[in-house]
Amino acid sequence: MAAYLEDPDAAKAALPWLKDGDLARRQIADLMIDLEQRRNGDSIHFWAIHSIEDNAFVGMAGLGDELQLAASAYNLGYWVRKGWRQKGIARACVDTIFTWQSQRTEQSLIEITVHPHNEAGLAACKSICQKWNGLAIEGFVPIEIDDRTIPHVLHLVQLNRGD
């Protein structure tokens, strides 16, 4: 919760369904419970990111099941705490996750959705797509958040065994 409170706007960019204030506390607790309950399944895979120096919580990264396309296997999600950004942490985590996923299955289509005003997120997706031969889909996809439809840019990365 302390990580959320240090930069709520960035947390909401990564988890746009988060409410403000005390409601976020309950939502984050529910998310942690859901991740724990589903840890042995194959529908979602999330990891906490910790510093190797002092084991401090740095962020989260993983593959979720909030999908826009029926053909997709997962959506990529990540969030890095304010003091740890711009250090290549998210990129290293994405590379590790994509390598892991490539070794587990013959192929899987991974979605990345980003709000069109999230410049850092768009730049990260561009970098991910360049490395992993992904692409941005032209136009926007509608994402439902708090009973509102918010347009997002959809990026797709096709992972194949041996990528």
> Which residue segments constitute the domains of the chain, with CATH numbers given?
2-160 (3.40.630.30)
Q: How far apart are CA 74 and CA 76, in angstroms?
A: 7
Given a cut of 60, whether residue 37 has pLDDT beyond it is yes
pLDDT at 99: 95
10 confidence band (pLDDT: 50, 70, 90): confident
pTM comes to 0.85
Given a cut of 80, whether residue 44 has pLDDT beyond it is yes
Q: In one letter, which amino acid is 94?
A: V
pLDDT at 40: 82
pLDDT at 101: 95
Backbone phi, then psi, for 20, in 5-degree steps?
-90, 155
pLDDT at 106: 83
Best CA proximity match to 1, nearest among 21, 17, 13: 21
What whole-number percentage of the chain has pLDDT above 70?
A: 95
Given a cut of 50, whether residue 29 has pLDDT beyond it is yes
Given a cut of 90, whether residue 5 has pLDDT beyond it is no
* The two three-digit tokens of residue 108, written as one number: 């899987």
User: Tens of pLDDT along 115-147?
Assistant: 898 888 899 999 999 999 999 999 999 988 778
Given a cut of 50, whether residue 163 has pLDDT beyond it is no
pLDDT at 31: 79
User: Tens of pLDDT along 76-95?
Assistant: 999 899 899 899 999 999 99
First and final CA of the chain: distance in angstroms?
Answer: 36
Contact indicator for 110, 75 with CB cutoff of 8 Å:
yes
Would you say how long the chain is, in residues? 163
Cβ neighbours of residue 142 closer than 8 Å, sequence gap 6 or more: 149, 150, 151, 152
